[in-house]
Amino acid sequence: MEISELGEFGLIERLAKDIKTKNESTIKGIGDDCAILAPTEGMRTVVTTDLLMEGVHFDLTYVPLRHLGYKAVMVNLSDIFAMNARPKQLTVSLAISSKFKVEDIEEIYAGMRLACEKWGVDIVGGDTTASLTGLAISITAIGEARSEDLVLRSGAKPTDLICVSGNLGAAYMGLQLLEREKVIYNDQVEQARKSGSKEQMELLREAQPDFSGREYILERQLKPEARGDIIEALQKAGIHPTSMMDISDGLSSELMHICKQSQTGCRIYEERLPLDYQTAAMAEELNMNVSTCALNGGEDYELVFTVPLAMNDAVSALEDIRVIGYITEPEKGQALISRDGGEHELKAQGWNPLKS
């Protein structure tokens, strides 16, 4: 169905029909000029916004629309969790080009609803408009936490331990694999076009790349998970981080943000970087340094956080968390200790959305 057949309000009504609110703090969701939220007594509100642009943040050549909707929500929820807060509501705004049909937008929303259902988040509003240049998705997520529970980037102290959840570099390797297969496919299409063979073109339309044995790194790129489970585990263990960020632009970049805001230095150990086997195998296949991928790849949406040295045993006992280094005095700078004992300055070489 053409979107123009429904119009803006018809599209919103169709997308909103299956959305039910779950949080007591959501008084009124979609349907009025504004959503109505009730602040929870004793809680602080946190707000984050992310904008995803077609051709910059995602490529619809290989990103399914449902996965795109899921990821768009998860990257926002990741920011909320990185504040040690709990997500409650979000708004969704879409700029849609004429190549999309109503069913395409429903697919995006289906992915969004799945992500929201996982963490009990209400979609309470948003906007839709036309786009001349492709698809744009803007999401604002709202969360809450007690003031004493909130964790900023600025709280790290010398001797604090640096910890990360999960493993690093997998999403970047998944992206490299997808981009490689896209180039191969486009080259085959161009060759078929030049040859004028209709039979070859038909075969190409049905062709699919072989991703067997690489499913994990593809999932990390196409369907990332916000680590709310780590926040719950830390709370259950009685561990309150002194600083925290989610790893969206690369570990090096995020650590440098923490050090700048906390006015500290840091040391991390290459041998302590958590890596998945598929990540290492893909890096070797592409002749890339796997540690560089882990430090600078981005889009992992894991958590990097610091805890007091006295918490070493408690945090080391938690599943899927690894201590990778420690915070230092600021004059010592930020450095990686390589496997051979060498010291190398950390550099922010990760994702930069404003770089051409």
Q: What is the pLDDT confidence band of residue 3, given thresholds at 50, 70 and 90?
A: low
Average pLDDT value for the chain: 92
- Percentage above 90 pLDDT, the chain: 77
The predicted structure's pLDDT at residue 11: 72
The predicted structure's pLDDT at residue 351: 53
Higher pLDDT, 347 or 267: 267
Domain at 3-146, CATH from 3.30.9.80, 3.40.50.1820, 3.30.1330.10, 3.10.129.10 = 3.30.1330.10
The predicted structure's pLDDT at residue 6: 67
Count Cβ atoms below 10 Å from residue 121 Cβ, excluding itself.
27
The predicted structure's pLDDT at residue 13: 73
Paired strand residues for 146: 43
Quick one: which of 56, 295, 323 has its CA closest to 163?
323
Please state the three-class secondary structure of the chain as a single string: CEHHHHHHHHHHHHHHCCCCCCCCCEEECECECCCEECCCCCEEEEEEEEEEEECCCECCCCCCHHHHHHHHHHHHHHHHHHCCCEEEEEEEEEEECCCCEHHHHHHHHHHHHHHHHHHCCEEEEEEEEECCCCCEEEEEEEEEEECCCCCCHHHCCCCCEEEEECCCCHHHHHHHHHHHHHHHHHHHHHHHHHHCCHHHHHHHHHCCCCCCCCHHHHHHHHCCCCCHHHHHHHHHCCCCCCEEEECCCCHHHHHHHHHHHHCCEEEEEHHHCCCCHHHHHHHHHCCCCHHHHHHHCCCCCCEEEEECHHHHHHHHCCCCEEEEEEEECHHHCEEEECCCCCEEECCCCCCCCCCC
Sheet of strand 136-146, all strands in order from the earlier edge strand to the far edge: 43-53, 136-146, 86-96, 122-130
The predicted structure's pLDDT at residue 199: 72
Residue 14 has pLDDT above 90, yes or no: no
The predicted structure's pLDDT at residue 208: 74
The predicted structure's pLDDT at residue 83: 98
The predicted structure's pLDDT at residue 8: 66
Please state the three-class secondary structure of 78-100 as a single string: HHHHHCCCEEEEEEEEEEECCCC
The predicted structure's pLDDT at residue 353: 54
Q: Which pair of structure tokens corresponds to residue 185?
A: 């496919």
Query: Taking residues 316-345, what's their average pLDDT?
Result: 96
The predicted structure's pLDDT at residue 113: 96
Domains in the chain: boundaries? 3-146, 153-171+219-345, 175-216
pLDDT in tens, 65-124: 999 999 999 999 999 999 999 999 999 999 999 999 999 999 999 999 999 999 999 999
- Percentage above 70 pLDDT, the chain: 94
The second-level CATH assignment, the architecture, of 153-171+219-345 is: Alpha-Beta Complex (3.90)
Cβ–Cβ < 8 Å for 333, 259: no
Whole-angstrom distance, CA of residue 319 vs CA of residue 233:
9
- For the chain, how far is it from start to end, CA to CA, in angstroms? 36
Whole-angstrom distance, CA of residue 329 vs CA of residue 245:
20
The predicted structure's pLDDT at residue 31: 83
The predicted structure's pLDDT at residue 7: 66
Quick one: which of 295, 241, 248 has its CA closest to 273?
295
Query: Taking residues 6-25, what's their average pLDDT?
Result: 76
Q: Which residue bears the tokens 């069913």? A: 103
The predicted structure's pLDDT at residue 285: 95
The predicted structure's pLDDT at residue 337: 97
Residue 200 has pLDDT above 80, yes or no: no
Of the ranges 52-61, 119-128, 274-283, 345-354, which one carries the lowest mean pLDDT score?
A: 345-354
Higher pLDDT, 269 or 196: 269
Q: Which pair of structure tokens corresponds to residue 270?
A: 């290459």
The predicted structure's pLDDT at residue 259: 98
Higher pLDDT, 235 or 352: 235
> Who's near 121: CB < 8 A, 6+ residues apart?
22, 23, 73, 77, 87, 88, 89, 90, 115, 141
CA triple 207-98-208, angle to 5 deg: 10
Q: In Å, how far from its chain's centre is CA 245?
A: 12
